[in-house]
Amino acid sequence: MIPIPAFLVVAGILFGIGAIGFLVRRNVIVALMSIELMLNAVNLTFVAFNRVHAEAHTGQVFAFFNIAVAAAEAAVGLAIVLSFFRLRRTVRSDAGDLLKN
């Protein structure tokens, strides 16, 4: 039986990598993928803690709804990326400066 902290450590590292990717990368598509990484890390944490409290499925059900919301978010986010690209001919996030000044 692998100890739960091992899963939590992997989830924490994944979330950290996702957060850094979202902060550092300028490509909007890569930023969206970093968000997916963070959501996956959170799901892994939910499932790992549900293994500790195995008398109910609450964590797993929450992870399930999380996956549904993440799929919806990816669809809408990529649609916005497409619309942004049509407007600006680039996917660099600092090209989105219509509200500047």
Partner 1 sequence: MFGHYDPLELIFFSICAVLAIGGALGTILFPNPIRGAMSLLFTIIAIAGMYLQLHAPFLAAIQLIVYAGAVVVLFLFVIMLIGPDSNPPHDGRGVVVRTIGAIAASLFVLQTILVLSHKAVGHLPVAQPGFGSVDAFGALLFTDWLVPFEVSSFLLMVSIIGAVAVARGKQPDPQAEPAKADEPPAAPKELGAATKALKVQTKTGAHA
Question: In the range 12-51, which residues lie near partner 1 by CB under 8 A?
Answer: 12-21, 23-27, 29-30, 32-34, 36-37, 40, 43-44, 47-51
Are 62 and 46 in contact, with CB atoms under 8 Å apart?
yes
Q: How far is the CB of 45 from partner 1 (least distance, A)?
A: 10
Q: How far is CA 52 from CA 12, 38, 67, in A?
A: 17, 22, 21
Q: Is 96 in the site for partner 1 (CB under 8 A)?
A: no
Rg, Å, the chain Cα set: 17
Q: How far is the CB of 11 from partner 1 (least distance, A)?
A: 9
Shortest distance (Å) from residue 4 CB to partner 1: 5
Choice from 42, 92, 99, 101 touching partner 1 (CB under 8 A): 92
Evaluate whether 18 touches 70 at the Cβ level (below 8 Å): no
63 binds partner 1 (CB under 8 A): yes
In this structure, how many other beta carbons lie within 10 angstroms of the beta carbon of residue 53? 10
